[in-house]
Each structure stands twice: as C-alpha cells, then as structure tokens.
C-alpha cells in the first residue's frame, strides 16, 4: 500500500528561516502550504520551492482569521497535515522597557503567541490522523533577560510555556510539539531590530539546514516536549545530520 504524501504548513516562509525550513521539507518529499505577508516575496518563494515539491502559497497576515482558515483549507485540499511550523514572528524595535510603547504588546502577542495557538487548535484534527508534529520557533531571549529585548522575549517565553503544556496535553491525540531556537541569524527580522547597523557578522539562516534535516527524520513521539538549539553542537542531532 502506497504511503500518503507527507504535507507541511510553514508560516513566515516567504524568506529567511521559514524559506530554509520549507526548502528542507520540500527536499524530503513534503508537499507544502506556505504563508507570508509579502505577496510578491511569497510568490517568488513558491516558484523556487515548486521545482522540488507541490506548493500552495497563502498570502496575508497570520493574525487574520480568514488567512488562517485559508492555510488550513489548503492543507486539507492537499490531503492532510504531518507538520505545522509556527515560524511567523514580529520583533519590533529593540530598546529599554522604560521607553517601550506598551500598546505595541497588542501587536506582538497576537503575532507571536495568539496566532500559533489558534493555528494549533485548528490543525490538531488533521495532525492527529498522521501522528503529526508541531514546531514552534523560540529564541534565547525567552530564557535570558537581554537588555532591550524584553517585549519580544516575553512573547517567546509565553510561547515556550504553552508549547510545553501542549506537548503534555496532545499526547493522547497522537500529536507532538517541540521548541526550536534557531540562534542569531542575518535575517530581515534581526535587521529591523537594528536599523542602519551592520549585522553581516551573523550567519545566514541556511546554517540551520542540517538541524532541520535531522529533525524531520525523527519519530515525533520520541522528541515530544523537547527544546532544541539549531546552531549548537548537540550530539542528539549532529551525529545523524
């Protein structure tokens, strides 16, 4: 009996880390649903990825309920869902908490915490049919009090707690959840945090590709609830990457 095609949904996949993750999945034979706010960049990413796998781009803001529904509808049309990667994030300008515009939390938490949770709720019925995996992208700012990074770190700390809770709650549904800290990288997200500064000393997101290659080969049950640092030398995955 032929195995069903594996399907993955990756948010924030028009460029940077999300595009790297989607590329690894495409090379491993996954059909893809990719999301992103920049319609032109997402179309270009879709064209690039479609040389390796079927791709459905869904443009729009991840905080928009209609966009989220479109993402899940696309996965259903492809046949289901094996992997959900909640990569879309918003950083905002780095600066001291005493100067932080507190109403900006009203944007950061919906993007970085609310949207991944709602997408997870929507995706679990599909993921449970394939003993699927949820990958939530975190940051070392979630666990260390870096001056200037408090608001972003707070959203990632919240996401970490929710992900660990989900890992425990979803076991009975046959769904696993993990956290991945990709490390400091040369991306537009980081450049926006340091406008006008040179961040060329940071590695490009492709440096994490060996980790993703390893991760998507794992039995989701065996890694449930774990937190990985994609750029660290870790015997759990380097020896098999």
pLDDT of residue 149: 84
Domain assignment present for residue 175? The answer is yes
- DSSP per-residue string spanning 119-183: HHHHHHHHHHTTT-EEEEE--GGGTS--TT-HHHHHHHHHHHHHHHHHHHHSGGGT-EEEEEE--
Q: What tens digit of pLDDT does each residue of 60-102 get?
A: 999 999 999 999 999 999 999 999 999 999 987 788 999 988 8
Domain assignment present for residue 106? The answer is yes
Domain assignment present for residue 13? The answer is yes
Identify the CA nearest to 83 among candidates 208, 189, 218.
Answer: 218
Does the reported pTM lie above 0.95?
A: no
pLDDT of residue 199: 62
Domain assignment present for residue 2? The answer is no
The residues carrying an active-site annotation are 152
pLDDT of residue 233: 64
Residues of the chain scoring pLDDT < 50: 1, 238-241
Residue 34 has a CB neighbour count (10 Å cut-off) of 30
- Report whether 183 contacts 138 (CB < 8 A): no
**Number of structural domains found in the chain:** 1
Domain assignment present for residue 1? The answer is no
CA 155 to each of CA 25, 53, 79, 88, 99: distance values in angstroms, whole numbers, following the listed order: 27, 33, 32, 13, 18
Here the CATH number for the domain that contains residue 107 is 3.40.50.720
Domain assignment present for residue 19? The answer is yes
Enter the DSSP assignment of 206.
Answer: G
Strand order in the sheet with 31-36: 55-59, 31-36, 7-10, 83-86, 133-137, 176-181, 227-229
Domain assignment present for residue 39? The answer is yes
User: Strands, DSSP E only, in 5-109?
Assistant: 7-10, 31-36, 55-59, 83-86
Which residues constitute the domain of residue 96?
7-238
């Amino acid at each position: 009996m032929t195995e069903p095609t594996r399907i993955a949904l990756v948010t924030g996949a028009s460029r940077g880390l999300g595009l790297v993750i989607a590329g690894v999945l495409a090379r491993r034979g996954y059909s893809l649903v990719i999301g992103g706010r920049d319609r032109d960049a997402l179309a270009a990413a879709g064209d690039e990825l479609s040389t390796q796998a079927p791709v459905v781009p869904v443009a729009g803001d991840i905080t928009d309920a209609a966009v989220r529904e479109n993402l899940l509808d696309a996965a259903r049309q492809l046949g289901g869902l094996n992997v959900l990667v909640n990569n879309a994030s918003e950083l905002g300008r780095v600066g001291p908490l005493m100067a932080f515009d507190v109403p900006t939390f009203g944007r950061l938490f919906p993007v970085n915490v609310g949207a991944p949770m709602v997408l997870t709720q929507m995706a679990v019925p599909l993921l449970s049919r394939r003993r699927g995996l949820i990958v939530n992208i975190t940051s070392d700012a979630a666990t260390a009090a870096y001056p200037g990074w408090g608001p972003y770190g707070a959203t990632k700390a919240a996401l970490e707690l929710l992900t660990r809770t989900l890992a425990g709650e979803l076991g009975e549904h046959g769904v696993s959840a993990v956290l991945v800290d990709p490390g400091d990288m040369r991306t537009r997200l980081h450049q926006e945090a340091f406008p006008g500064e040179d961040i060329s000393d940071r590695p490009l997101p492709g440096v994490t590709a060996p980790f993703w290659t390893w991760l998507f080969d794992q039995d989701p049950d065996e890694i449930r609830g774990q937190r990985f640092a994609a750029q660290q030398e870790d015997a759990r995955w380097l020896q098999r990457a």
